[in-house]
A and B are shown apart, each in its own frame.
Chain A
Amino acid sequence: MKIVVVGCTHAGVAAAKAVRMIIRRRRSSCTSGMTTCHFCPAGSHCT
Protein backbone atom coordinates (compact mmCIF):
# COMPACT_ATOMS: atom_id res chain seq x y z
CA MET A 1 0.00 0.00 0.00
CA LYS A 2 1.27 3.46 -0.87
CA ILE A 3 0.56 6.26 1.59
CA VAL A 4 1.22 9.85 0.59
CA VAL A 5 1.31 12.73 3.07
CA VAL A 6 0.77 16.21 1.68
CA GLY A 7 2.31 18.92 3.86
CA CYS A 8 5.19 18.67 6.34
CA THR A 9 3.32 20.44 9.13
CA HIS A 10 3.17 19.23 12.74
CA ALA A 11 0.37 16.92 11.69
CA GLY A 12 2.20 15.76 8.57
CA VAL A 13 5.40 14.88 10.41
CA ALA A 14 3.43 13.08 13.13
CA ALA A 15 1.42 11.18 10.53
CA ALA A 16 4.48 10.11 8.54
CA LYS A 17 6.23 8.90 11.67
CA ALA A 18 3.14 6.95 12.72
CA VAL A 19 2.97 5.32 9.30
CA ARG A 20 6.62 4.32 9.52
CA MET A 21 6.12 2.87 12.97
CA ILE A 22 3.23 0.70 11.83
CA ILE A 23 5.21 -0.47 8.81
CA ARG A 24 8.12 -1.40 11.05
CA ARG A 25 5.92 -3.38 13.37
CA ARG A 26 4.13 -5.17 10.57
CA ARG A 27 7.24 -6.14 8.66
CA SER A 28 7.80 -9.75 9.59
CA SER A 29 10.77 -9.79 7.23
CA CYS A 30 12.66 -7.23 9.28
CA THR A 31 15.70 -8.86 10.82
CA SER A 32 17.64 -5.73 11.59
CA GLY A 33 17.03 -5.98 15.31
CA MET A 34 16.83 -2.20 15.41
CA THR A 35 14.22 -0.65 17.67
CA THR A 36 13.92 2.27 15.28
CA CYS A 37 14.73 2.73 11.60
CA HIS A 38 17.13 5.54 12.44
CA PHE A 39 20.27 3.40 12.29
CA CYS A 40 18.94 0.69 10.02
CA PRO A 41 21.12 0.26 6.90
CA ALA A 42 18.02 -0.54 4.85
CA GLY A 43 16.85 3.04 5.32
CA SER A 44 13.75 3.77 3.33
CA HIS A 45 14.24 0.79 1.02
CA CYS A 46 12.50 -1.62 3.36
CA THR A 47 9.09 -0.24 2.40
Chain B
Amino acid sequence: MYERDDNVSFLSCGVALYLGGEVKNLDEMFYENPAHLRTEGIDVRDKHDVLRIDSDKHTLTIQNLRTTEVFTDTYDKLIMTTGSNVVVPPVMGVDDTRVLMCKDARQAQAIFDSAQNHHHVYIVGGGYVGVELAEAYANTDHAVTLLQAHNQLLNRYIDEELSAQVERNLQEHGVDLQLNTRVDSFESDDDHDQVLIHTNGADFHAGLVIVCAGFVPNTELLRGQVKLDARGAIITNDWLETSNPDILAAGDTCAVRFNPTGKLDYIPLATNAERQGRIAGRNAFGHVQKYPGTQGTTALRLFSETLATTGLTSHAAAAAGVHAASVIYRDNYRPVFMQPNAQITIKLVYNVDDHRVLGAQLLCAHDISQTANTVSLAIQNGNTIEDLAYVDTLFNPHYDQPVNYLNQVALLAVAQTNA
Protein backbone atom coordinates (compact mmCIF):
# COMPACT_ATOMS: atom_id res chain seq x y z
CA MET B 1 0.00 0.00 0.00
CA TYR B 2 1.50 3.31 -1.08
CA GLU B 3 0.89 6.61 0.72
CA ARG B 4 2.68 9.86 0.02
CA ASP B 5 2.06 11.27 3.49
CA ASP B 6 3.63 9.99 6.69
CA ASN B 7 0.30 9.31 8.33
CA VAL B 8 -2.79 7.32 7.43
CA SER B 9 -6.54 7.29 8.00
CA PHE B 10 -7.08 10.83 9.28
CA LEU B 11 -10.69 11.38 10.38
CA SER B 12 -11.31 14.77 8.80
CA CYS B 13 -14.90 14.58 10.00
CA GLY B 14 -13.50 15.07 13.50
CA VAL B 15 -11.66 18.31 12.78
CA ALA B 16 -14.43 20.44 14.28
CA LEU B 17 -14.20 18.44 17.52
CA TYR B 18 -10.52 19.29 17.77
CA LEU B 19 -10.96 22.93 16.85
CA GLY B 20 -13.84 23.21 19.33
CA GLY B 21 -11.77 21.71 22.14
CA GLU B 22 -13.82 18.53 22.61
CA VAL B 23 -10.84 16.46 21.44
CA LYS B 24 -7.59 17.75 22.92
CA ASN B 25 -5.10 15.93 20.75
CA LEU B 26 -5.19 15.93 16.97
CA ASP B 27 -3.35 12.60 16.94
CA GLU B 28 -6.53 10.99 18.27
CA MET B 29 -8.06 11.67 14.86
CA PHE B 30 -5.88 8.94 13.35
CA TYR B 31 -7.45 5.57 13.90
CA GLU B 32 -4.64 3.60 12.24
CA ASN B 33 -0.90 3.94 11.75
CA PRO B 34 1.62 2.36 9.37
CA ALA B 35 3.37 0.37 12.10
CA HIS B 36 0.15 -1.30 13.21
CA LEU B 37 -0.91 -2.06 9.66
CA ARG B 38 2.44 -3.76 9.09
CA THR B 39 1.75 -6.07 12.01
CA GLU B 40 -1.44 -7.02 10.16
CA GLY B 41 0.70 -8.18 7.27
CA ILE B 42 0.13 -5.14 5.08
CA ASP B 43 3.24 -3.83 3.33
CA VAL B 44 2.75 -0.11 3.96
CA ARG B 45 5.07 2.27 2.11
CA ASP B 46 4.37 5.70 3.57
CA LYS B 47 6.19 8.78 2.24
CA HIS B 48 6.03 7.17 -1.19
CA ASP B 49 4.44 9.24 -3.94
CA VAL B 50 2.92 7.37 -6.87
CA LEU B 51 3.90 9.52 -9.85
CA ARG B 52 2.38 7.53 -12.71
CA ILE B 53 0.20 4.52 -13.36
CA ASP B 54 0.42 2.67 -16.66
CA SER B 55 -2.71 0.56 -16.79
CA ASP B 56 -1.65 -1.14 -20.07
CA LYS B 57 1.63 -2.39 -18.60
CA HIS B 58 0.24 -2.85 -15.06
CA THR B 59 3.05 -0.72 -13.62
CA LEU B 60 3.42 2.17 -11.21
CA THR B 61 6.21 4.71 -11.06
CA ILE B 62 6.90 5.69 -7.48
CA GLN B 63 9.17 8.11 -5.69
CA ASN B 64 10.42 7.38 -2.21
CA LEU B 65 10.08 10.82 -0.63
CA ARG B 66 12.64 9.98 2.05
CA THR B 67 15.44 9.06 -0.36
CA THR B 68 14.12 10.69 -3.61
CA GLU B 69 14.70 7.31 -5.32
CA VAL B 70 12.30 6.69 -8.22
CA PHE B 71 11.42 3.09 -9.01
CA THR B 72 8.83 0.96 -10.76
CA ASP B 73 6.45 -1.54 -9.24
CA THR B 74 3.92 -3.89 -10.80
CA TYR B 75 0.43 -5.06 -9.94
CA ASP B 76 -2.07 -7.68 -10.95
CA LYS B 77 -4.94 -5.78 -9.33
CA LEU B 78 -4.84 -2.12 -8.34
CA ILE B 79 -7.19 -0.58 -5.78
CA MET B 80 -7.40 3.18 -6.19
CA THR B 81 -8.19 4.95 -2.91
CA THR B 82 -6.57 8.33 -3.32
CA GLY B 83 -9.46 10.22 -1.71
CA SER B 84 -10.39 13.80 -2.38
CA ASN B 85 -9.03 17.31 -2.16
CA VAL B 86 -10.73 20.44 -0.90
CA VAL B 87 -12.32 22.66 -3.50
CA VAL B 88 -10.26 25.82 -3.83
CA PRO B 89 -12.64 28.45 -5.14
CA PRO B 90 -11.33 30.04 -8.34
CA VAL B 91 -11.27 33.57 -6.97
CA MET B 92 -8.48 36.12 -6.73
CA GLY B 93 -6.55 36.13 -3.47
CA VAL B 94 -7.58 32.68 -2.29
CA ASP B 95 -3.87 31.93 -1.83
CA ASP B 96 -3.56 34.60 0.90
CA THR B 97 -1.92 33.08 3.98
CA ARG B 98 -4.88 34.15 6.12
CA VAL B 99 -7.27 32.12 3.96
CA LEU B 100 -7.15 28.49 5.10
CA MET B 101 -8.70 25.28 3.82
CA CYS B 102 -10.01 22.53 6.06
CA LYS B 103 -9.55 18.79 5.48
CA ASP B 104 -6.28 17.17 6.42
CA ALA B 105 -4.34 17.18 9.67
CA ARG B 106 -1.90 19.92 8.67
CA GLN B 107 -4.74 22.21 7.61
CA ALA B 108 -6.57 21.49 10.87
CA GLN B 109 -3.47 22.36 12.88
CA ALA B 110 -2.95 25.56 10.89
CA ILE B 111 -6.52 26.63 11.62
CA PHE B 112 -6.13 25.73 15.29
CA ASP B 113 -2.96 27.79 15.59
CA SER B 114 -4.37 30.78 13.73
CA ALA B 115 -7.58 30.82 15.75
CA GLN B 116 -5.52 31.21 18.95
CA ASN B 117 -4.63 34.68 17.69
CA HIS B 118 -7.91 35.74 16.12
CA HIS B 119 -11.13 36.35 18.01
CA HIS B 120 -13.26 36.69 14.89
CA VAL B 121 -13.41 33.70 12.55
CA TYR B 122 -14.90 34.01 9.07
CA ILE B 123 -16.16 30.80 7.50
CA VAL B 124 -16.96 30.54 3.80
CA GLY B 125 -19.40 27.77 2.91
CA GLY B 126 -22.50 26.60 4.77
CA GLY B 127 -22.27 22.87 4.16
CA TYR B 128 -21.57 20.30 6.85
CA VAL B 129 -17.99 21.34 7.50
CA GLY B 130 -18.77 25.06 7.58
CA VAL B 131 -21.70 24.62 9.95
CA GLU B 132 -19.72 22.34 12.27
CA LEU B 133 -16.85 24.83 12.38
CA ALA B 134 -19.29 27.67 13.09
CA GLU B 135 -20.64 25.72 16.05
CA ALA B 136 -17.14 24.84 17.27
CA TYR B 137 -15.97 28.43 17.30
CA ALA B 138 -19.24 29.78 18.72
CA ASN B 139 -18.68 27.33 21.59
CA THR B 140 -15.17 28.65 22.19
CA ASP B 141 -16.18 32.29 22.57
CA HIS B 142 -15.05 33.34 19.14
CA ALA B 143 -17.09 35.75 17.07
CA VAL B 144 -18.18 33.81 13.99
CA THR B 145 -19.40 35.04 10.62
CA LEU B 146 -20.64 32.36 8.25
CA LEU B 147 -20.86 33.31 4.57
CA GLN B 148 -23.07 31.10 2.42
CA ALA B 149 -23.70 31.70 -1.29
CA HIS B 150 -26.98 29.75 -1.23
CA ASN B 151 -30.21 31.06 0.30
CA GLN B 152 -30.08 28.43 3.04
CA LEU B 153 -27.57 26.35 4.96
CA LEU B 154 -26.91 22.66 4.29
CA ASN B 155 -28.81 22.85 1.02
CA ARG B 156 -27.49 19.47 -0.16
CA TYR B 157 -28.92 17.75 2.91
CA ILE B 158 -32.08 19.51 4.09
CA ASP B 159 -34.91 21.63 2.78
CA GLU B 160 -35.74 25.11 3.95
CA GLU B 161 -38.17 24.01 6.69
CA LEU B 162 -35.36 22.41 8.65
CA SER B 163 -32.62 24.78 7.58
CA ALA B 164 -34.67 27.63 9.04
CA GLN B 165 -34.46 25.87 12.42
CA VAL B 166 -30.75 25.27 12.00
CA GLU B 167 -30.15 28.89 11.06
CA ARG B 168 -32.16 30.11 14.04
CA ASN B 169 -30.16 27.85 16.33
CA LEU B 170 -26.85 29.22 15.04
CA GLN B 171 -28.02 32.81 15.33
CA GLU B 172 -29.24 32.25 18.89
CA HIS B 173 -25.70 31.16 19.69
CA GLY B 174 -24.26 34.36 18.26
CA VAL B 175 -23.26 33.26 14.77
CA ASP B 176 -23.50 36.09 12.25
CA LEU B 177 -25.15 34.35 9.33
CA GLN B 178 -24.79 35.90 5.88
CA LEU B 179 -26.93 33.98 3.38
CA ASN B 180 -27.00 34.77 -0.34
CA THR B 181 -23.45 36.01 0.08
CA ARG B 182 -21.05 34.88 -2.62
CA VAL B 183 -17.34 35.56 -2.20
CA ASP B 184 -15.98 37.29 -5.29
CA SER B 185 -12.35 37.72 -4.21
CA PHE B 186 -9.91 38.14 -1.34
CA GLU B 187 -7.62 41.14 -1.10
CA SER B 188 -4.58 41.31 1.15
CA ASP B 189 -4.38 44.13 3.66
CA ASP B 190 -0.90 43.50 4.99
CA ASP B 191 -0.76 46.82 6.83
CA HIS B 192 -3.42 45.53 9.22
CA ASP B 193 -2.53 41.84 8.89
CA GLN B 194 -5.98 41.23 7.45
CA VAL B 195 -7.64 40.03 4.31
CA LEU B 196 -10.55 41.85 2.76
CA ILE B 197 -13.38 39.56 1.66
CA HIS B 198 -15.18 41.03 -1.33
CA THR B 199 -18.68 39.59 -1.82
CA ASN B 200 -21.72 40.34 -3.93
CA GLY B 201 -22.92 42.32 -0.89
CA ALA B 202 -20.87 43.80 1.90
CA ASP B 203 -17.10 43.50 2.29
CA PHE B 204 -15.56 41.99 5.40
CA HIS B 205 -12.16 42.57 7.06
CA ALA B 206 -10.90 39.28 8.43
CA GLY B 207 -7.83 38.02 10.25
CA LEU B 208 -8.73 34.39 9.65
CA VAL B 209 -10.87 32.94 6.88
CA ILE B 210 -11.69 29.23 6.65
CA VAL B 211 -12.93 28.09 3.26
CA CYS B 212 -15.20 25.03 3.29
CA ALA B 213 -16.32 24.78 -0.32
CA GLY B 214 -16.60 21.00 -0.66
CA PHE B 215 -14.40 18.28 -2.10
CA VAL B 216 -13.23 17.06 -5.49
CA PRO B 217 -12.02 13.54 -6.29
CA ASN B 218 -8.27 13.04 -6.49
CA THR B 219 -8.06 11.01 -9.71
CA GLU B 220 -5.31 12.66 -11.78
CA LEU B 221 -3.26 9.45 -11.85
CA LEU B 222 -5.94 7.64 -13.82
CA ARG B 223 -7.18 10.46 -16.04
CA GLY B 224 -7.49 9.13 -19.58
CA GLN B 225 -7.09 5.53 -18.44
CA VAL B 226 -10.48 4.78 -16.85
CA LYS B 227 -13.90 6.36 -17.23
CA LEU B 228 -14.53 9.43 -15.08
CA ASP B 229 -17.72 11.43 -14.61
CA ALA B 230 -18.02 15.16 -15.24
CA ARG B 231 -16.59 15.93 -11.77
CA GLY B 232 -13.59 13.70 -12.42
CA ALA B 233 -14.86 10.94 -10.10
CA ILE B 234 -14.11 7.38 -11.15
CA ILE B 235 -17.10 5.46 -12.46
CA THR B 236 -17.31 1.89 -11.18
CA ASN B 237 -19.71 -0.99 -11.66
CA ASP B 238 -21.50 -2.76 -8.79
CA TRP B 239 -18.30 -4.76 -8.11
CA LEU B 240 -16.37 -1.49 -7.78
CA GLU B 241 -14.38 -2.27 -10.90
CA THR B 242 -13.48 0.69 -13.06
CA SER B 243 -13.76 0.55 -16.84
CA ASN B 244 -10.46 -1.36 -16.57
CA PRO B 245 -11.39 -4.54 -14.63
CA ASP B 246 -7.88 -4.83 -13.16
CA ILE B 247 -8.34 -1.49 -11.42
CA LEU B 248 -10.88 -1.18 -8.61
CA ALA B 249 -11.71 2.05 -6.85
CA ALA B 250 -13.27 3.03 -3.54
CA GLY B 251 -14.04 6.06 -1.41
CA ASP B 252 -13.85 9.73 -2.27
CA THR B 253 -12.23 8.96 -5.63
CA CYS B 254 -15.48 7.41 -6.87
CA ALA B 255 -18.91 8.32 -7.97
CA VAL B 256 -21.50 6.25 -6.09
CA ARG B 257 -24.92 4.97 -6.98
CA PHE B 258 -27.44 7.09 -5.09
CA ASN B 259 -30.29 4.66 -4.45
CA PRO B 260 -33.17 7.16 -4.23
CA THR B 261 -32.57 8.10 -7.87
CA GLY B 262 -30.60 5.07 -9.06
CA LYS B 263 -28.10 7.47 -10.64
CA LEU B 264 -24.41 8.06 -10.03
CA ASP B 265 -23.62 10.95 -7.72
CA TYR B 266 -20.59 12.26 -5.87
CA ILE B 267 -21.11 11.82 -2.13
CA PRO B 268 -17.74 11.83 -0.35
CA LEU B 269 -18.55 10.41 3.09
CA ALA B 270 -16.35 8.30 5.36
CA THR B 271 -19.17 5.75 5.59
CA ASN B 272 -19.23 5.22 1.85
CA ALA B 273 -15.43 5.03 1.79
CA GLU B 274 -15.24 2.44 4.55
CA ARG B 275 -17.89 0.18 3.00
CA GLN B 276 -16.51 0.52 -0.50
CA GLY B 277 -12.98 -0.18 0.69
CA ARG B 278 -14.01 -3.44 2.35
CA ILE B 279 -15.90 -4.50 -0.76
CA ALA B 280 -13.17 -3.50 -3.21
CA GLY B 281 -10.63 -5.46 -1.19
CA ARG B 282 -12.77 -8.58 -1.39
CA ASN B 283 -13.56 -8.09 -5.07
CA ALA B 284 -9.88 -7.89 -5.97
CA PHE B 285 -10.13 -11.69 -5.84
CA GLY B 286 -13.22 -11.87 -8.06
CA HIS B 287 -16.88 -10.98 -7.92
CA VAL B 288 -17.44 -11.59 -4.21
CA GLN B 289 -19.67 -8.77 -2.95
CA LYS B 290 -21.75 -6.16 -4.75
CA TYR B 291 -21.78 -2.59 -3.51
CA PRO B 292 -25.37 -1.81 -2.52
CA GLY B 293 -25.22 1.91 -3.26
CA THR B 294 -25.82 4.70 -0.79
CA GLN B 295 -28.49 6.94 0.64
CA GLY B 296 -25.92 9.53 1.77
CA THR B 297 -27.00 9.02 5.37
CA THR B 298 -25.36 11.45 7.76
CA ALA B 299 -25.82 13.31 11.03
CA LEU B 300 -24.68 16.48 12.70
CA ARG B 301 -24.85 17.65 16.30
CA LEU B 302 -25.49 21.36 16.46
CA PHE B 303 -25.20 22.68 20.02
CA SER B 304 -27.73 20.47 21.84
CA GLU B 305 -29.67 19.41 18.75
CA THR B 306 -29.22 16.42 16.48
CA LEU B 307 -29.79 16.74 12.75
CA ALA B 308 -29.88 13.46 10.83
CA THR B 309 -30.62 13.01 7.16
CA THR B 310 -30.86 10.32 4.55
CA GLY B 311 -31.82 10.15 0.89
CA LEU B 312 -33.42 12.82 -1.25
CA THR B 313 -34.57 16.27 -0.22
CA SER B 314 -37.53 17.85 -1.98
CA HIS B 315 -35.18 20.20 -3.79
CA ALA B 316 -32.97 17.36 -4.97
CA ALA B 317 -35.99 15.34 -6.06
CA ALA B 318 -37.22 18.22 -8.19
CA ALA B 319 -33.78 18.71 -9.70
CA ALA B 320 -33.56 15.00 -10.52
CA GLY B 321 -37.02 14.99 -12.13
CA VAL B 322 -38.41 12.63 -9.50
CA HIS B 323 -42.18 12.92 -8.93
CA ALA B 324 -41.97 13.42 -5.17
CA ALA B 325 -44.12 14.77 -2.36
CA SER B 326 -43.37 15.35 1.30
CA VAL B 327 -44.93 15.69 4.73
CA ILE B 328 -43.67 17.25 7.94
CA TYR B 329 -44.37 15.88 11.41
CA ARG B 330 -43.81 17.92 14.56
CA ASP B 331 -44.59 16.75 18.10
CA ASN B 332 -42.92 15.88 21.37
CA TYR B 333 -40.77 12.85 20.82
CA ARG B 334 -42.23 11.20 23.95
CA PRO B 335 -45.34 11.72 26.14
CA VAL B 336 -45.58 15.12 27.83
CA PHE B 337 -45.58 13.52 31.29
CA MET B 338 -41.96 12.56 30.58
CA GLN B 339 -39.69 15.50 31.29
CA PRO B 340 -37.50 16.90 29.98
CA ASN B 341 -39.05 16.63 26.59
CA ALA B 342 -38.27 17.98 23.17
CA GLN B 343 -40.01 18.60 19.89
CA ILE B 344 -39.02 16.41 16.99
CA THR B 345 -39.31 17.60 13.41
CA ILE B 346 -39.30 15.02 10.64
CA LYS B 347 -39.67 15.69 6.94
CA LEU B 348 -40.38 12.59 4.89
CA VAL B 349 -39.98 12.63 1.10
CA TYR B 350 -41.63 9.93 -1.00
CA ASN B 351 -42.38 9.02 -4.58
CA VAL B 352 -45.91 9.98 -5.55
CA ASP B 353 -46.20 7.28 -8.21
CA ASP B 354 -45.08 4.16 -6.36
CA HIS B 355 -45.05 5.46 -2.76
CA ARG B 356 -41.40 4.45 -2.23
CA VAL B 357 -39.64 6.25 0.58
CA LEU B 358 -37.02 8.59 -0.87
CA GLY B 359 -35.61 10.56 2.03
CA ALA B 360 -35.96 11.90 5.54
CA GLN B 361 -34.66 14.83 7.56
CA LEU B 362 -34.88 14.72 11.35
CA LEU B 363 -34.13 17.39 13.93
CA CYS B 364 -34.52 17.09 17.70
CA ALA B 365 -32.76 17.93 20.96
CA HIS B 366 -33.10 14.25 21.81
CA ASP B 367 -30.70 11.94 19.97
CA ILE B 368 -32.82 10.60 17.13
CA SER B 369 -29.88 9.96 14.81
CA GLN B 370 -30.45 6.21 14.54
CA THR B 371 -33.88 6.80 13.02
CA ALA B 372 -32.14 8.09 9.90
CA ASN B 373 -30.48 4.69 9.67
CA THR B 374 -33.88 2.99 9.78
CA VAL B 375 -35.11 5.16 6.93
CA SER B 376 -31.88 4.51 5.05
CA LEU B 377 -32.59 0.79 5.15
CA ALA B 378 -36.18 1.42 4.03
CA ILE B 379 -34.91 3.38 1.03
CA GLN B 380 -32.30 0.78 0.13
CA ASN B 381 -34.92 -1.98 0.32
CA GLY B 382 -37.45 -0.05 -1.74
CA ASN B 383 -39.99 0.16 1.09
CA THR B 384 -43.10 2.32 0.73
CA ILE B 385 -44.66 4.86 3.05
CA GLU B 386 -47.25 2.17 3.88
CA ASP B 387 -44.44 -0.17 4.97
CA LEU B 388 -43.01 2.56 7.17
CA ALA B 389 -46.41 3.58 8.55
CA TYR B 390 -47.15 0.12 9.90
CA VAL B 391 -43.71 -1.33 10.58
CA ASP B 392 -43.32 -2.74 14.09
CA THR B 393 -41.57 -0.19 16.30
CA LEU B 394 -41.00 -0.14 20.03
CA PHE B 395 -42.95 1.93 22.53
CA ASN B 396 -41.65 2.93 25.88
CA PRO B 397 -42.43 6.33 27.48
CA HIS B 398 -38.73 6.90 27.96
CA TYR B 399 -38.14 6.82 24.24
CA ASP B 400 -41.24 7.62 22.23
CA GLN B 401 -45.01 7.90 22.05
CA PRO B 402 -47.32 4.87 21.63
CA VAL B 403 -47.08 5.42 17.91
CA ASN B 404 -43.41 6.04 17.15
CA TYR B 405 -42.56 9.29 15.36
CA LEU B 406 -41.37 7.38 12.33
CA ASN B 407 -44.74 5.62 12.04
CA GLN B 408 -46.42 8.98 12.62
CA VAL B 409 -44.72 10.80 9.79
CA ALA B 410 -45.34 7.89 7.41
CA LEU B 411 -49.00 7.82 8.46
CA LEU B 412 -49.18 11.50 7.51
CA ALA B 413 -47.77 10.62 4.09
CA VAL B 414 -50.29 7.81 3.63
CA ALA B 415 -53.13 10.16 4.61
CA GLN B 416 -51.84 12.73 2.14
CA THR B 417 -51.84 10.23 -0.71
CA ASN B 418 -55.38 9.16 0.18
CA ALA B 419 -56.71 12.72 0.37
Contact = CB atoms under 8 A, between A and B. Distances in A.
Interface of A: 1-24, 26, 36-38, 40, 42-44, 46-47
Contacts of A22: 281-282, 284-285, 288
A47 to B, nearest CB: 7
Contacts of B32: 8, 13
B41 interface: yes
B278 A14 contact: yes
Contacts of B80: 6-7
A8 B75 contact: no
Nearest to B221: A6
B41 A15 contact: no
A6 B281 contact: no
B252 A5 contact: no
B179 interface: no
Contacts of B203: none
Interface string B255-295: 00000000000000010011111111110110010000000
B282 A18 contact: yes
Contacts of A4: 1-2, 60, 73, 75, 77-79
A9 B76 contact: no
Interface stretch (B42-50, B185-193, B194-202, B361-369): B42-50
Nearest to A22: B285
A11 B83 contact: yes
Nearest to B78: A4
Given A20-B42, A38-B39, A44-B43, A6 B50 contact: yes
Interface stretch (B3-11, B120-128, B164-172): B3-11
B280 A15 contact: yes
A8 B46 CA distance: 8
B81 A9 contact: yes
A11 B38 contact: no
A10 B277 contact: yes
A9 to B, nearest CB: 4
Given A13-B32, A15-B277, A18-B278, A5 B79 contact: yes
Q: Which of A4, A14, A42 has the most CB of B within 10 A?
A: A4
Given A9-B252, A10-B270, A15 B3 contact: no
Contacts of A2: 74-77
A13 to B, nearest CB: 5
A7 B79 CA distance: 9
Q: Which of B9, B43, B277, B282 has the most CB of A within 10 A?
A: B277
B82 A10 contact: no
| 7 tightest Cβ-Cβ pairs between the two chains A and B | A18-B281, A11-B251, A14-B277, A12-B81, A8-B8, A11-B277, A8-B3
Contacts of A23: 41
A17 B251 CA distance: 15
Contacts of A16: 1, 37, 42, 44, 79, 281
A11 B276 CA distance: 7
Given A10-B270, A36-B40, 17 more contacts: A1-B77, A4-B73, A4-B79, A10-B274, A13-B9, A13-B32, A14-B274, A14-B277, A15-B278, A17-B278, A20-B42, A42-B41, A43-B39, A43-B41, A44-B42, A44-B43, A47-B43
A11 B274 contact: yes
Q: Which of A13, A40, A43 has the most CB of B within 10 A?
A: A13
Given A12-B251, A15-B79, A18-B281, A38 B40 contact: yes
A20 to B, nearest CB: 5
Contacts of B279: 18
A36 B37 CA distance: 12
A15 B278 CA distance: 5
B76 A1 contact: yes
A38 B42 CA distance: 10
B324 interface: no
16 contacts: A2-B77, A3-B78, A4-B78, A5-B1, A6-B1, A6-B81, A7-B251, A11-B250, A12-B79, A13-B8, A13-B37, A15-B278, A15-B284, A18-B277, A22-B284, A37-B40
